[in-house]
Each structure stands twice: as C-alpha cells, then as structure tokens.
Amino acid sequence: MSKGMRKYFKKKIFWFVITFIAAVILNFILPRLMPGDPVNAIVGKSVSPGASQEQIQEQIAFYKQQFGLDKSIFGQFFDFVKNAVNGTFGVSYSQYPRTVSDIIGSGIWWTIALQLPAILVGWILGNVLGALAAYLRKAFDKVLMPVSLFFSAIPAFGMAVILLVIFAVNLKVAPVNGAYDAGLIPKFTPSFIANVIWHYQLPFWSIVLISIGGQAVGMRSMSIYELNADYVKYARFLGIKDRRIVRYVFRNAMLPQVTGLAMSIGSMVGGALVAETIFSYPGLGMAMYNAIVSSDYPVISATTLIITIMVLLASFTLDIIYAFIDPRVKAAQFD
Amino acid sequence: MKSTLRNIFHSPRFVVGFVIFMAMVLTVLIYPYFVPRDPLVSIGKGFLAPGTYLSVYDANNTSTYRIDLPEAAANRMGSLLTAEDRKTMLDFLTVMGADTEGLDLSDDSVNDLIALWKSSYDEENVRTSKYEGFSTKAQRNKLKRLDTKLSGSDSAGAMTVVSGEGDAAESRAVADTDYVKVNEVANALNLPLGTDNFGRDMLTELVSATGTSLIIGLIAGTIATLLGLLVGLLAGYVGGLLDDILMFIANIFTVIPGFVLLILIYYSVGQEARGVTTCAIVIGLTSWVWTARSVRSQVISLRNRDHVNLSKLSGHSLFRIIITDILPYIASYVVMAFILQVSSGILAEAQLSLLGLGPKTTVVPTLGLMMNWAKLFGAYTSSNAWWAYFPVILVIALTSFSLNLMNTGLDQVFNPTLRD
C-alpha cells in the first residue's frame, strides 16, 4: 500500500466515523421534534372512561418511566445509544410492550426478500436494454428510448396503483394486499410458500418496471459517451476487433451504473416505503410508515439508523472498490 | 446566445418536451377563464362516472321533438336491467325449474328473459314454495322490486309527469318518442373526468392541482438549485477546510436519504405550518445535495484553467471570478439540473401526500393530495373509479416525461459527445 493510498483511506475513515456520529445524533433528535405527545395518546387509549385524574396521572408517570422519558434529553440519548449497542433498540411506544428489535426483525426479511431481487432484476434488464440501444442504434433505439423515458417518468406509486387495479381488482389474478393470506401462519410448507410467491408478484414487478426505465436511460447515455471517446477511435485505427472494443466500452460505462446499484441497495429500506404502503406489504417501510403516523420515536430512530448504516456501508464499500478498480479515481485521489 | 437557442429548438427531443410542458402550463392558465368554478366545491355526491349530466327537472320543461328510433324499445329494456338484475332473474328462473335453455346475460336475450319472467313469476307462489336461495323476506322483496320495475317499463307511452303537489291540472303525458335537445336543457353539465369522492368536478380539480404542483416544483427546484450551486461553487473553488465541512453536510444528507429526512423535517414543522409553500421549501432544502456534488466536481476541473489563474493574478475578487470565469462554463449544466429538480420536486410532493404526510390545505388541491383522496376513499378497490386516479398519474408522468425530454435534448446540444 502506497503512502498516498494510506492517507486516502485514513481520510475516508475519519469522515466515515464523523458522518456516522452526526447521523446517529440526527436520527435521535429529528423524530423527537415531531409534534404530539406519544404517552398521552397511549394513556388516552388504555385508561377506562371513568378513571379519576390521579389514576390518569399515575398511568402517564408509569409509561414515562417505562420509556425513560422522565430522564433529561441527554439521559434519553444515552439510553438510545445503549439500546442500539445491545441490539434491542428499546420498547415501541405504539405497540407496547413489544421491543423495537422484534418489530424490525419481523419486517426486515420481507423488505430484503422483496427489494433485493427486484433491484437486481431491474438493474440487469435495464442495463442490457440500455447497452443494446447504444450499440444497435437505429429502430431499436428510436423505439426503446422514448418508451424507457416514459416508463421512468411514471412515479413508483403510480406504477404500483396501475398494476394493482389491472391485476388484482379487475382481472383478480393477484391479491390486493399483504404478503400472505390473513388466515395463514408463517411456516415453511409448500402451500404457504406458494401463497407468498402469489402475493409477491405485484410489488416485485412494480419495482422492476420502474427501475428498468431509469437504468436503461442511464446506461445508454454512458455507453454512447464511451463509444465516442478517443480511445475507441484509436483502438479502431489500430485494427482491434470490434468485439473486444465493445467489451472495454461497456466495462467503462458500467462503472457509474455500479455506483447506482450499490446506492439503491443501500437505500432499499427507504425506497420500499411507497410500494410497501400501497400493497400493505409487512416490511420495514410499512413499519416505518406506521411509526411516523403514531409518533413511535424508538421505531423511527431505529429504522432510520438502519438506513443510515446501510447507506454508509454502501458508499464506503464503493469508495474502497473504486480506489482499486478505477484508475481515474486512483489518479485523482492519491496524488 | 442566439445560436444556442436556435440549436436547442432544433433538437427534436427538447421541442417535444417543451410543447407538452407548455401545453400543460397554458391549460392551467387558461382553463379558469372558461370554467370559473372553485376547484374544491362539491357539486355531486360520491364518485360520478365521466359523462354529460342532464337535469331531469329541466329536461321535462324543455320543448320536445318527435324522433322514431326503431331500436329505442330494445335499448330501453337493456339499460333498465343491470347485469346483476339479469343474473338474479336467471338464477330465480333456473331454481324455479323454468326452461332457461339458450338464455344468457347479454342484450340479445333480454326480451326473451323478460317474457319468461312475466309468465313464471308469481308473488304468492314464491312466498309459499320457499325456493332455495330465495327463502328469506329480503330475497323475496328483491324479486318483488324487480317485478315492479319490469311492469313499470311495460306501459310505454303512458308516463305522466305531475308537477307540484300532484295537481292533475298541471300534469302532462310524455310519449316514448319525445326527445329534448341537450343544449336546450337549462342545466346540463359535462363532466369529462367525472367527480371524485367528495363530488368535485375532477377536471377542474386536476387543472388546479397541476398548477399548484408546478408551483411546488418551481419553488423546490429553485431553492435546491440555488443552494446546490452556492455550496458546490464554494466547496469546489475555495476548497480546503470549507470544502471538507460542506461535503460533510452533504454526506449527512446522503446517508439519511432525502425522502426520509423530508418526512422527518416536514413532520417536525407541525400541523398548522404544513402549507403548500412550506412543503415546497422543505423539499428544496432536502434535495440540493446532488446538484452541489456535480457543481463542485465541475468547478474543481475549472479552477486551474489558465483564464481563471489570469483573473486571480489580476487581483479580481472571488465573487467576480466566480461570476465571470466559472459560472458561464457550468451555466448549461445548472439549467439542466434545475429542470430535473423541478421534476423531482413535483414527484416528492406527490409521494409525501400519498402517504398522508403532504400539505394540510383545504384551499387548493395538489396532485399528491388527489392521489391520497383516491386511496383513502377506495377508488382503486371498492369503487373502481379509474377516473379519480388514472388522470392524476398520467399528468404526473407527463410532467416528468416532458421535463426529462427537455433535459436529454439540452444534454445533446451541450455535450457534443452524446450526439447521435
């Protein structure tokens, strides 16, 4: 490892740590700025109508103590960090006495199982189409480009709603919402898995269709940019085979696309919000939405913390990989 | 400048996008002069399908014309019986044991179906026999209502309209060959997109919402672009510690994704303050990051050019160097970034509102609020009212499509390497 490289990594890690600390603090503060007192809301629901003023006060004091809200803001922050480190993330306000880690644990696998394959399939299909459009040009490009542009212009929720109405409401070939039928108990039986796959189709394709358009547009313009680059012309003059040039071109054009892939995997939880709420899919996005609506600070803080860590990891990994694979970054950063 | 503009308007992509966008802007500006109705006033009750609605009262008081249409009787029968009615009739006749061979729910067999019904249905018989599926009182009443409906349609030519408190002197007979002219009826309303769940005229509401959403996009786009430009210029040109600090802030905005940050900040503002303008400002404040990054990297590549160094040697101020030596080189890029920011601002508002976190307003509709209402009142599922959400999705898609087209058109003009 050269001296420049070591300095580069030191600087990266320094900013990585600082950003992480600042993000943790923001994740703690921002939800707590939201209006509405969650304890009053819980007590309002749980107390019987005839309860006296003292009983209500007693209840409020009990919940405040349970949630650690009787401590100062610094004490609360210390609790937050402690709970984040031991992995429980504290107790949920709106689903008391469920722990936040339980809520997240039940949601995160649905989100990963839905988003990861959808992002990958959309990314691969989009890039293949974009590269073909750039290389073949002519009719293929003329038809594909406006279609891709239009598809990428349809908002994610619009695509979800259109698929929902066509396939679930009118044709009735897919379920309207959920990840499995309400009466079923999650276990690994063939009938349950078949039911899950049946529920999986609409949310999955709504994400894939949206991402294909955007990826194709990006890949096409990067490929055209590279195809017109000087090194391609030079290689042609040298008489290098077309097949080989194309391989170099697409490898270079892929670099920004890889960034896009890593970032969309990193921000997958935030991106899941819309599709999951439309299809009432029980993932992390849905958990976060419910938490925001009911001012459930611990759940909001924990989900945003997960998003933060995932995005940070994705961008940090990218920085490291780029330093090794892209000579342009190497030249720019290490000198 | 003049030649750049000419080049831009020679790019087919830009022109198509520009025409679509301007058509929408012009519609938003001109429409209120033709339909000066308040977009949020309820004129109907619940979802009304698109179409022309005639006042029955006024139609009765409009002079009539005689038209003999041969298929009029069949049409009348066909429209009288809904698909559900026909199914009930068929089910009943089958249970009763009548010969329903060759009868189905189509318009062709409706006359045969009615004839069979008339010969078979007997109220007494139904009550005493307790046929399967028609044994409860509610089910028998349903059949009775159907029968009444059918016998009412029998007496063609004998319909009598009585005005006032049943004063026979003011009644008049309506023949089945009487027609009124649509534009002679005093109150006729054309609802090309029907009404939403509150009974508001969808087209008027949609035009007004498009206007509001465009304004949100413009405010958010302007804030995001100006902020991004300022941060990018300072970080890129000044560099050093300032660069580190500014990029640190930008990184925080990246690791807490804009949309999440947007929800949190917007929710923290409080219920009362969450108007349309606040919404636009918050969107702008959370989406400047990528503009700042791209501007910064372009400025870094510019700051060591000879003409910039020459300006520095001549003792020009930082402000003057940025304005005269750097801005002109990135102006085209900034315009393109602005267009994309407008488009993503409109989209961000729509997503926020769809989740029920959008502007709290009872004065103006936005595209996102319309989507939210459609979702809340079951337009996709129970009511299946496509007109309440599909035009909204189409307008959002068309807006960002036209802006993206303009953007790629500009890209081809300014980046010769991207040209076909």
Residues 357-396 of B with CB under 8 A from A: 357, 371, 375, 380-381, 384, 386, 389-390, 393, 396
Whether B256 sits inside 8 A of A23 (CB atoms) is yes
Same domain? B116 vs B177? no
Start-to-end CA distance of chain A, whole Å, equals 14
Same domain? B136 vs B177? no
Whether B42 and B199 have beta carbons less than 8 Å apart is answered as: yes
Lookup: tokens for B189: 């309303």
Residue of chain B whose Cα is closest to the Cα of A286: B355
Whether B270 sits inside 8 A of A35 (CB atoms) is yes
A30: contact with B, CB 8 A cutoff = yes
Distance CA B43, CA B193 (A): 14
For testing contact with chain B, the best of A142, A170, A267 (most B CBs within 10 A): A267
Q: Last residue of some domain: B130, B153, B176?
A: B153
Which residues from chain A sit within 8 angstroms of residue B418, using beta carbons?
Answer: 221, 224-225, 228
Residues 204-223 of B with CB under 8 A from A: none
**pLDDT value for B160:** 67
Q: Number of A:B CB contacts under 8 A?
A: 129
Residue B269 DSSP label: T
Same domain? B298 vs B400? yes
Same domain? B388 vs B315? yes
Residue B217 carries which side chain, given as an amino acid letter? G
Residue of chain B whose Cα is closest to the Cα of A297: B264
Whether A149 sits inside 8 A of B256 (CB atoms) is no
**pLDDT value for B258:** 67
Same domain? B187 vs B217? no
Give A319→chain B minimum CA distance, Å.
Answer: 13
Residue of chain B whose Cα is closest to the Cα of A311: B255
Query: How many other C-beta atoms can be found within 10 angstroms of the C-beta atom of residue B108?
Result: 12
Unique residue bearing structure tokens 């803080």: A301
pLDDT digits (tens, 9 = 90+) for A196-217: 888 888 889 888 888 888 888 8
What ipTM was predicted for this assembly?
0.80
**pLDDT value for A179:** 73
Whether B254 sits inside 8 A of A169 (CB atoms) is no
Distance CA A103, CA A105 (A): 5
- For the cut 50, the answer to whether the pLDDT of residue A335 exceeds it is no
Give A79→chain B minimum CA distance, Å.
Answer: 21
Enclosing domain of residue B102 = 72-153
H helices of B256-288, in order, are 258-268, 276-286
- Please tell me the pTM assigned to this model: 0.82
Which residues lie below 8 Å from residue B218, measured CB to CB, with a gap of 6+? Answer: B342, B345
**pLDDT value for A332:** 56
Same domain? B184 vs B205? no
pLDDT in tens, chain B (420 residues): 778 888 888 888 899 999 999 999 999 999 999 888 888 888 888 888 888 888 888 888 888 888 887 777 777 777 777 777 777 887 887 777 777 777 777 767 777 777 777 777 777 777 777 777 777 777 778 788 878 777 765 545 556 666 655 555 556 677 777 888 888 888 888 888 888 888 888 999 999 999 999 999 999 999 999 999 999 999 988 888 888 889 888 888 877 766 677 777 776 776 667 788 888 988 898 889 889 988 988 888 888 888 888 888 888 888 888 888 888 888 888 998 999 999 999 988 998 888 877 787 777 889 998 988 888 888 877 777 888 889 999 999 999 999 988 988 888 888 766 655
Same domain? B239 vs B164? no
Same domain? B28 vs B96? no
Lookup: tokens for B131: 């046929």
Give A11→chain B minimum CA distance, Å.
Answer: 11
CA A163 remoteness from chain centre:
21
B101: contact with A, CB 8 A cutoff = no
Buried b (16+ CB within 10 A) or exposed e, A270-303: bbbbbbbbbbebbbbbbbbbbbbebbbbbbbbbb
Residue B181 carries which side chain, given as an amino acid letter? K
**pLDDT value for B209:** 93
pLDDT digits (tens, 9 = 90+) for A164-192: 888 888 887 777 777 777 766 767 777 77
Same domain? B281 vs B236? yes
Same domain? B82 vs B122? yes
- For the cut 70, the answer to whether the pLDDT of residue A327 exceeds it is no
Lookup: tokens for B382: 């129970």
Which residues from chain A sit within 8 angstroms of residue B411, using beta carbons?
Answer: 221
B153: contact with A, CB 8 A cutoff = no
User: What percentage of chain A carries pLDDT values higher than 70?
Assistant: 91
Distance CA B301, CA B237 (A): 10
Whether B389 sits inside 8 A of A176 (CB atoms) is no
Same domain? B210 vs B102? no
Q: What is the number of domains present in chain B?
A: 3
Of the candidates A251, A213, A14, A22, which has an alpha carbon nearest to the alpha carbon of residue A122?
Answer: A213
Query: In the structure, what pLDDT confidence band is assigned to residue A334 with cuts at 50, 70 and 90?
Result: very low
Cα diameter, chain A: 92
Query: In the structure, what pLDDT confidence band is assigned to residue A63 with cuts at 50, 70 and 90?
Result: confident
Residues 336-355 of B with CB under 8 A from A: 347, 350-351, 354-355
Whether A146 and B398 have beta carbons less than 8 Å apart is answered as: no
Residues 37-56 of B with CB under 8 A from A: none
A307: contact with B, CB 8 A cutoff = yes
Q: CB-CB: which of B263, B380, B411 is closest to A161? A: B380
Same domain? B408 vs B259? yes
Distance CA B282, CA B290 (A): 16
For chain A, domains (ranges, CATH) are 3-86 (no CATH), 106-296+310-332 (1.10.3720.10)
Burial of residue B271 (CB within 10 Å: 0-12, 13-18, 19+) is: exposed
Whether B153 and B118 have beta carbons less than 8 Å apart is answered as: no
Radius of gyration of chain A from its Cα atoms, rounded to whole angstroms? 25
